[in-house]
Structure 1
């Protein structure tokens, strides 16, 4: 009995010694941990030492280039920048330029969208705005949350700099107001009624200079055409775009995506003089279809003495493309600097170069000219 107690006392002493050694080791580890933690706490991540103004500028380059509109949520949304850390959230919320582009669409439930759009409008401060409104159907235009969102956006119309309207139906939202900063307008409509059912909402636009319209919009909108310097008309027939072009005497850049109606091949089209036009681009909405020449030659309509750049599909030049180009250049009296022939060509490239030696840059895009030299 006495020997057993003595052994236990010895064992306790042994355990206490081991505990003491472990406590000393633990104290050493804790001290080392404290030193390492203090060193870590004193470290400044380079990104966090940068001035807030630099961080804000980096944030603007993270987003789609203005005036393109980022989504309200997701990877390219400015809201994502508020979820990284507290400091970055404060910087993002204090950077109005991050919130100056607003997309209103059916991609987000209208109630959630309304809340987020209101937040973005508030965060954008006094910045000019890029507004893109797209995708609603006729039956949803009367949704109270969508109407509330549109009303909120419209209340800031004095700050609109860019506006794109692309409804999925035929009804437009009721847009009235003052637009002193609006410089670029992009409207794509579905069928909007017979010609003459015009929408004259956009008349007092002192800064407007760039316009993009599809056929329905070109037929139904009255704009201050004389001040437009850049015009894009998409999916239009010649007879649809001519009334607009007759009013754009100060046009500098023009792009036409043309359809041709074989039933109107005998139309007599009046000449249009565009004395300031420097760049003229024709696009084929069906580039992969037959390369058969069009029934109407669009260059026959234009007189452009200041023209420097011309892009045109060869199929738009008729059966004798070189003669068509020669006649156009002579009639206009222009000194072309850049000629680009688009699509499949029937005339060898060398023939073009021989015919137009004075044009410094003559190139061919997506051509399939097996006989070229």
Structure 2
């Protein structure tokens, strides 16, 4: 008996995605990778989409490189500074890389983040390359040696620029000639001057801006911005200089959001009035009684209905002053407070739970964080928390219903008892939005 074996072939498994037309794969890429994803990871664009898609396989590389210009309209390249790559600079290789990237974007509006804050200056061709695409700038972040700003064409139009972030190193002590490269931008609404850049160093269309951010300014710089920008809706000032005397500015009747931080966050409050203010954010590592006392005086002088307040950080020594501040702000609907000790949070719980004269009667959202690794008052704080949440879980004539509550504990060793967890779960089942956790796990 003769046996003639038949040739056998093993089935080849093909990824279903590889059977789709290129046009469909392109649409999937665009759906999965938003513009925000492209600039979300700081530093190296080689690790971000769309470029990272070229590393998957040959087929994906061909698809990514054939994508439309909208897929290449965002670029982020950072060296040095707080968030960028620590070493290196934008040299000729990176310049060639940027040229290729921009060529793929064609005439699309661009979101550009370029930072070279290391001591090695960027390639001389960087500014001319960026300048050649100025008509496409829509969202521009540039952080370079200060003298490079003068290489941009002065008083040339930026027809679609909406958002501008500037940062620099090697800032001269005195800037006698302001930079005018970003002056002609009819659609510009948001400006951020990062680091120790000052408003006087740039001529900008201040009168049309609706949002301003200074990250390291003196009080007078902040007031100068307010004097020039009459259409502001939101502003954020990091104030690091304690000016001895400050002038005043006309009332800003549109500002709804004000954020203050730094070594002297409240120093400008006696000089400003914002009748439409609803949102106040104050962050300071060493807030003292004098600084806290400025807040209710400011709110009273503005005659505004403050709805949201964020306070970071309140030490145990400032507990009484913080409670007095909150008593003077009965219109608050949202409170976010960071405390260094559980005793401060317990005092707040006690005030919110008291009968008789209402304390924060319109409070609907409360967010707290505790910043101490070891604290003897933790167990009592949790007991008081449960009592407060039960009391505020329903609306009564004295106060509205508390709708959301969050508490974040610094210590990973903190454990919430099963009895309190059960009580909190009952409140969550009845519709209260609860988020109680330490850095490692969420309990409810």
Partner of 2:125: 148
* Gap change, CA 1:48 and 1:257, over 3 Å in 2: farther
Deviates more, 1:71-80 or 1:298-307: 71-80
Aligned to 1:174: 151
Corresponding residue to 2:232 among 239, 251, 265: 251
Alignment counterpart, residue 75 of structure 1, candidates 37, 40, 47 = 47
Choose 319-328 or 243-252, whichever is displaced more.
319-328
Residues in 2 aligned to 1:295 and 1:101: alpha-carbon distance in whole angstroms: 34
Which residue is 1:329 aligned to? 299
Q: Report whether the alignment pairs 1:192 with 2:157.
A: no
Please list the CA deviations of residues 317-343 of structure 1 after superposition, one character each: whole Å capped at 9, or x if unmatched. 763566532221121111111011221
Residue aligned with 1:147, SS = coil
CA distance in 2, matches of 1:140, 1:235: 23
Structure 1 unaligned runs (5+)?
1-16, 287-293
- Change over 3 Å in CA distance of 1:99–1:314 after alignment to 2: closer
Aligned residues: 328
Is the contact between residue 158 and residue 181 of structure 1 (CA under 8 Å) also seen in structure 2? yes
Query: 1:7: which partner in 2?
Result: none
Which residue does the alignment assign to 1:299?
269
Structure 2: unaligned runs, 5 residues or longer: 80-87, 349-444
Q: CA deviation at 1:132?
A: 2.3
Distance 2:76 2:265 in 1: 41
Distance 2:57 2:284 in 1: 56
CA distance in 2, matches of 1:66, 1:245: 34
Matched, 1:158 2:135: yes
- Deviation track 1:98-150 (CA, whole Å, cap 9, x = no partner) reads 31123455646623222221211111122211222321667745xxxx23343
Verify the 8 A CA contact 1:72 1:116 in the aligned structure 2: no
The aligned residue for residue 406 of structure 2 is none
Offset of residue 155 of structure 1: 0.9
SS in 2 for 1:200: coil
What's 2:255 paired with? 277
Distance 1:49 1:95 in 2: 18
Instruction: Measure how far apart 1:355 and its partner are.
Output: 2.9
**CA deviations over 1:196-252 (Å, ceiling 9, x no partner):** 431112111011101110332423011000111111101111022221221111111
Distance in structure 1 (CA, Å) of the matches to 2:271 and 2:285: 16
* 1:57 partner SS: helix
Q: Which residue of 2 aligns with 1:213?
A: 193
**Would you say 1:115 and 2:93 are equivalent positions?**
no
Bigger Rg, which one: 1
Structure 2 Cα separation of the partners of residues 318 and 105 of structure 1:
37
CA contact (8 A) 1:59 1:98 kept: no
Alpha-carbon spacing, 1:99–1:278, altered in 2? closer, same or farther (3 Å) = same
CA displacement at 1:314 relative to structure 2:
6.8
Structure 1 residue 364 corresponds to structure 2 residue 337: yes
Query: Which one scores higher on RCO, CA 8 angstroms, separation ≥ 6?
Result: 1
Q: Which moved more, 1:268-277 or 1:81-90?
A: 81-90
State how far apart, in whole Å, the 1-side matches of 2:273 and 2:147 are. Answer: 36
Q: TM-score, normalised by structure 2?
A: 0.65
Tell me whether 1:204 sits opposite 2:176 in the alignment. Answer: no
Q: Distance in 2 between matches of 1:278 and 1:295?
A: 18
Report if the CA contact (8 A) 2:137-2:161 is conserved.
yes
Contact between 1:136 and 1:169, CA under 8 Å: does it hold in 2?
no
Residue-by-residue CA offset, 1:160-182 (whole Å, 9 max, x unaligned): 11111212565436112431111
